[in-house]
Amino acid sequence: MKEQQRQILRMVALLDIVIAIGLLVGIVLAGLAIPIIVPALMALSGLMILVISLVIK
C-alpha cells in the first residue's frame, strides 16, 4: 500500500512540475510577466501541498 502511495505521489509531483513549467513557458511567451506568474505559482504550490497531505494521510 505504501509503495502504491509513493508511486501516486511521484506521478502527481511530476504532473505538477510539468504543469508549472508549461504555465511559466506559456506566460513568458504571452509576455504577461510577474502579476500573473506569482499567483499562479502560489496556487500551484498550494495545490501540491494539499495533494501531498491528502496522499500521506
For the chain, 57 residues long, the average pLDDT of each consecutive 10-residue run is 84 85 78 68 81 80
CB 27 within 8 A of CB 44: no
Helix (H, G, I), strand (E, B) or coil at 57: coil
What contacts 44, CB < 8 A, 6 or more positions away?
Answer: 16, 19, 20, 23
